A and B are shown apart, each in its own frame.
Chain A
Amino acid sequence: IQYERVGADVTMKCGSMDWDAAVTWTVNGTDIDESHLNGSYLVLKNVGLSQSGQYSCYEGSSWHLKYQTYLRVGTPPKEPVLMCRSNNYPKGFYCSWHLPTPTYINNTFNISVIHGTKDMVCERDAIPKNRCHIRYLQLFSTVKYKVTLTVTNALGKNFTTLTFDEFAIVKPDPPESVVAKPVPNNPRRLEVSWQNPSSWPDPESFPLKFFLRYRPLILDQWQHVELSDGTSHTITDAYAGKEYIIQVAAKDSDIGTWSDWSVAVHATPWTEEPKHLTTEAQITETTSASTSSFMAPPTTKICDKGAVVGSGAVAVCWTAGLVVAAYSVLFI
């Protein structure tokens, strides 16, 4: 295999053949035009990824194979992106990595973890291959961990280093099984419950605290509630009849950072069963122009009880009814 960088000029010799020998070059079985030849040498200028392939050189008359190589065009690795996190504190942490841009050829990754002067073993996961995990041998240490990731391929090498302390990388997975339900006969409440992330090994000794955020779908602004314990909460200020989106995040009670937000759940607070009077109101509105006698339509949309708070609801409904009646008379 011959590795070359994208943009390089590549010259291939046909084995031990003289420069002025008559040869034929092929790539993946297809003849290469003579314009790419300099004598018996194959010259590829400014190679691109599409020029990767099997190159063969045959002696002109005998068609004997004189040289063959597999050309792989790629790039040396850029500085890799490395991340380390403990989502299962206090058991250990994992590091995962990737390259910011592909190299188009095989890369080998090597990771080293040092705690003070001690080398630690980071066990590679089978899947995904770009991850390894470490068990904590000590807890509550002020000595930092230094993780160095080196990436090597046939065209070059690169590396990156992360230094951190034990507490800084603690970040649980998001809470699981988030459920939000309306509360019967309570038009402004939603009951939310969730579970600790299953990856968190000992929530009793290492309890999590939670952050809940919620908003009606029609608004952009979130409401937030921080909860120091427990895995449920009742929202008591929901807008009646409005669909809500709700998410929860988790954090160790003492150290580290907040998890990502959980999967969003949707819920709408309980509303009273709508009356069947809507149909009558629609008929009344469409025929009001030709009606000689008029009856005030029963109040429905204007006076949705769920949208009105407090004892003023009844007074508002009567007033709205009178206004509609007045307008209807004008159109007769």
Chain B
Amino acid sequence: MAAAESPSTALRRRDLCSRGIRLAGKMRADVVDLLDAYVEQQGLDASASVAAVEGVPLAAVERWDEQTGTQRLLENLAAYRAFRALLAQMLEEQREQLGEADVGLGRALAAVLLQVSAFAYHLEELLRLESRGIPGEEEEEDGPPPPPRLSLFEQKLRGLGVLRELAQWAVRSVRDLRQLTKPSPATGAAPGLAESP
């Protein structure tokens, strides 16, 4: 039997969602600026199509409006954890490649990485609020073997794919969090979260 949601939980969720929406909004603005700088600095064509890169979580989703609140939180969390690792890798590659030349780009990448980490933590808090177990992160030794080292050009294209997808996720996350704040007509709880264990 699903328990009715306490007012304090509802308030806390609303508060977390509002702050999350602001975080995601700021993150998106910074990612868009970073994308422009990245394209310019790396000498890429902004309109270039980049094939889906392995390991980059796609923001594209079917039947988005039918997702439960828990699904939204779990998918978001998995995505931002993946972006955290991808951005860390990009930062390392950036430092190896260019040294002093792109200090600004490196700083911007680091700032976005920080926001992605913060947002991932924020999502964990929301999941904790729902008394949901937070899925553990994959240990390196248990994960798949690391992919073969890419050429410089392939690294740049992958970076473009990562940032583009992250920008989409930032928009999706805002929408997902807004859905979480909508009251469910039957229980008054947020949709899809008041589920029986």
CA distance A140 to B62 in the complex (A): 9
How would residues 84 to 114 of chain A score, 1 for a CB under 8 Å from any chain B CB and 0 otherwise?
0000001000000000000000000000000
In angstroms, how far is the closest chain A Cβ from the Cβ of B168? 5
Task: List 18 extra interface pairs beyond A140-B61, A141-B58, A205-B182, CB under 8 A.
Answer: A138-B60, A138-B62, A139-B61, A139-B172, A140-B59, A140-B64, A140-B169, A140-B171, A140-B172, A141-B60, A142-B59, A143-B60, A144-B49, A204-B178, A205-B178, A207-B178, A254-B25, A255-B171
Seen from chain B, the residues whose Cβ lies within 8 Å of a Cβ on chain A are: 25, 28, 49, 58-62, 64-65, 164-165, 168-169, 171-172, 174-175, 178-179, 182
Q: Residues of A contacting B64 with CB < 8 Å?
A: 90, 139-140
Q: Known contacts being A142-B165, A205-B179, A205-B182, is A167 close to B62, with CB within 8 Å?
A: no
Q: What total of chain A residues lie within 8 Å of the partner, measured CB to CB?
A: 16
In angstroms, how far is the closest chain A Cβ from the Cβ of B184? 13
Beta-carbon contact of B61 and A138 below 8 Å = yes
One of A90, A142, A207 near B164 (C-beta < 8 A): A142
Closest 9 CB pairs of A and B: A141-B60, A140-B59, A140-B172, A139-B64, A138-B60, A140-B168, A142-B164, A138-B62, A254-B171
CA distance A90 to B165 in the complex (A): 18
Q: Does A206 interact with chain B (Cβ within 8 Å)?
A: yes
In angstroms, how far is the closest chain A Cβ from the Cβ of B80? 14
Q: Does A219 interact with chain B (Cβ within 8 Å)?
A: no
Q: Residues of A contacting B174 with CB < 8 Å?
A: 254
Q: Residues of A contacting B182 with CB < 8 Å?
A: 204-205
- How many inter-chain contacts with C-beta < 8 Å in the A-B complex? 45
Beta-carbon contact of B60 and A139 below 8 Å = yes
| Cβ contacts A to B, 12 pairs, < 8 Å | A90-B65, A139-B61, A140-B59, A140-B61, A141-B58, A141-B60, A142-B58, A142-B59, A142-B60, A204-B182, A205-B178, A205-B182
> Chain B at the A interface: mostly helix, strand, loop or mixed?
helix
Beta-carbon contact of A141 and B59 below 8 Å = yes
Beta-carbon contact of B175 and A141 below 8 Å = no
CA distance A139 to B64 in the complex (A): 7
CA distance A142 to B64 in the complex (A): 15
Q: Does A323 interact with chain B (Cβ within 8 Å)?
A: no
Seen from chain A, the residues whose Cβ lies within 8 Å of a Cβ on chain B are: 90, 137-144, 167, 204-207, 254-255
Beta-carbon contact of A140 and B25 below 8 Å = no
In angstroms, how far is the closest chain B Cβ from the Cβ of A133? 18
Taking each of B60, B164, B178, which has the highest tally of chain A beta carbons within 10 Å of its own beta carbon? B60
Taking each of A90, A141, A207, which has the highest tally of chain B beta carbons within 10 Å of its own beta carbon? A141
Q: Residues of A contacting B59 with CB < 8 Å?
A: 140-142
Give A204's nearest chain B residue, CB to CB. Answer: B182
Beta-carbon contact of A137 and B62 below 8 Å = yes
CA distance A140 to B164 in the complex (A): 11
Q: Residues of B contacting A204 with CB < 8 Å?
A: 178, 182
CA distance A140 to B172 in the complex (A): 6
In angstroms, how far is the closest chain B Cβ from the Cβ of A255? 6
CA distance A144 to B60 in the complex (A): 12
CA distance A207 to B18 in the complex (A): 14
Q: Residues of B contacting A206 with CB < 8 Å?
A: 175
CA distance A103 to B61 in the complex (A): 43
Q: Residues of A contacting B25 with CB < 8 Å?
A: 254
Q: Residues of B contacting A137 with CB < 8 Å?
A: 62
Q: Residues of B contacting A205 with CB < 8 Å?
A: 175, 178-179, 182
Q: Residues of A contacting B169 with CB < 8 Å?
A: 140
Q: Residues of A contacting B175 with CB < 8 Å?
A: 205-206, 254
CA distance A167 to B65 in the complex (A): 17
Q: Residues of B contacting A140 with CB < 8 Å?
A: 59-61, 64, 168-169, 171-172
Give B179's nearest chain A residue, CB to CB. Answer: A205
In angstroms, how far is the closest chain A Cβ from the Cβ of B120? 18
CA distance A137 to B60 in the complex (A): 10
Q: Residues of A contacting B164 with CB < 8 Å?
A: 142
Q: Residues of B contacting A141 with CB < 8 Å?
A: 58-60, 168
